[in-house]
Amino acid sequence: MAKPEVLLTDAIHPEVLPQLQAHCTVVQAPDATPATLAQLITTAEGLIVRNKLAPDLFDHAPRLRAVVRHGVGLDLIPVAAATARGIPVANLPGSNTTAVVEYCIAAMLQLRRNLLGIDQRMRNAGWAAARPMADGATELRGSVCGIVGVGAIGAQVAVVAGALGMRVIGLTRRPETLPAGITAASKAELFEQADVVVLSCPLNDSTRGLVDAATLATMKPGAVLINVSRGPVVDTPALIAALRVGKLGGAALDVHDRQPLAPTEPVFEAPNLLLTPHIAGITDNSLRAMSQGSVDTLLALLRGERPTNIVNPEALP
């Protein structure tokens, strides 16, 4: 019997790839453009996704039987279109939680201590010029961490923040489900009280533009904002304006309105802004875990099994 063909939009971990190749014919897309994926998916029975899919991609996939998100966020996949065609879609909840949580803590420390800036000043201008930059740094202990979206990531950020001596408040649709150690807060209360705000919420109609100019204006002078959710949760021009006038102590953006960022984007000129290319969830550890989970789940789906991480079970008979 011929092996089923599986299309990868991007490479998976090299230690896991042979496990998939043992059971499937694996096709690695040379790029993830809509035209390339539309051509390659015509013979694929399985698809592992690490890049955004075109809304009509499944129109070109008559043999497709399973789609797995190499990660958690489903905004890359037209799930409704898959469901309409009876194609199950699965993701990997928790597979990169540790990586994202550690990114948030690293960003907090960088924004509060400015170690990179001190390093650069010391290299360029010497010890005496760099030493005074430490005087304005602030410690995390005793400050308030506000978390918007207390899911798997937000809950773990709260655990670490609490261990560092921070008081943790959270904004969630169901305050009664907040873990111990997190005090429920309204949006107004959270942004007014927090010294560090971490955005780890999904992007939907209620969170799009959640952090706008009016919200930023209510934040404490010197407060910092960290976004590991999705770019449109933050009004980016408003954030840039707040940073330029010194309203905030700094911000970290791992996600952006348009990805990848163009070299001329205004964010590159904003002060006290840490920018990363959507890598909060990416480490060698998390890539291996996501690749292993993707392969295990895809093979199970191709065998006709029903893994518990299917997000659209209604697509199955």
Q: What is the band of 216 on the pLDDT scale with cuts at 50, 70, 90?
A: very high
Q: Are residues 61 and 197 in the same domain?
A: no
Q: Which run of H or E residues covers position 285?
A: helix 284-302
Q: Are residues 126 and 271 in the same domain?
A: yes
| pLDDT of 99 | 98
Tokens of 273: 């802004």
Q: What is the pTM of this model?
A: 0.92
Q: What is the band of 84 on the pLDDT scale with cuts at 50, 70, 90?
A: very high
| pLDDT of 235 | 98
Q: Are residues 90 and 102 in the same domain?
A: no
Residue 166 reports pLDDT greater than 90 = yes
Number of domains in the chain: 2
Q: Are residues 29 and 113 in the same domain?
A: no
Across 197-219, average pLDDT: 97
Q: Are residues 198 and 305 in the same domain?
A: no
Residue 83 reports pLDDT greater than 90 = yes
Q: What is the band of 302 on the pLDDT scale with cuts at 50, 70, 90?
A: very high
Q: What is the band of 317 on the pLDDT scale with cuts at 50, 70, 90?
A: confident
| pLDDT of 28 | 97
| pLDDT of 182 | 98
Residue 256 reports pLDDT greater than 80 = yes
Give the percent of the chain with pLDDT over 90: 98
Tokens of 178: 């907040």
Residue 161 reports pLDDT greater than 80 = yes
Q: What is the band of 17 on the pLDDT scale with cuts at 50, 70, 90?
A: very high
Q: Are residues 271 and 294 in the same domain?
A: no
Residue 300 reports pLDDT greater than 80 = yes
Strand partners, 170: 147, 184
Strand partners, 225: 197, 251
Across 195-205, average pLDDT: 96
Residue 1 reports pLDDT greater than 80 = no
| pLDDT of 124 | 98
Tokens of 308: 């518990």
Q: How far is CA 10 from the centre of its chain?
A: 17
Strand partners, 66: 46
Across 175-193, average pLDDT: 96
Spatial CA neighbour of 301 closest among 95, 89, 93, 92 = 89
Q: Are residues 45 and 103 in the same domain?
A: no
| pLDDT of 183 | 98
| pLDDT of 202 | 92
The domain in which residue 21 lies consists of: 5-95+284-315
Tokens of 54: 């075109």
Residue 301 reports pLDDT greater than 80 = yes
Q: Are residues 80 and 202 in the same domain?
A: no
Spatial CA neighbour of 150 closest among 115, 188, 185, 178 = 178
Across 110-130, average pLDDT: 97
Q: How far is CA 5 from the centre of its chain?
A: 29
Q: What is the band of 78 on the pLDDT scale with cuts at 50, 70, 90?
A: very high
Tokens of 41: 């998916």
The 10s digit of each residue's pLDDT in 30-45 is: 999 999 999 999 999 9
- For residues 316 and 310, what is the distance between their CA atoms, to the nearest angstrom? 10
Q: Are residues 214 and 173 in the same domain?
A: yes
Indicate which CATH number applies to the domain containing 259: 3.40.50.720
Q: Are residues 103 and 89 in the same domain?
A: no
| pLDDT of 103 | 98
Q: Are residues 200 and 295 in the same domain?
A: no
Q: Are residues 246 and 116 in the same domain?
A: yes
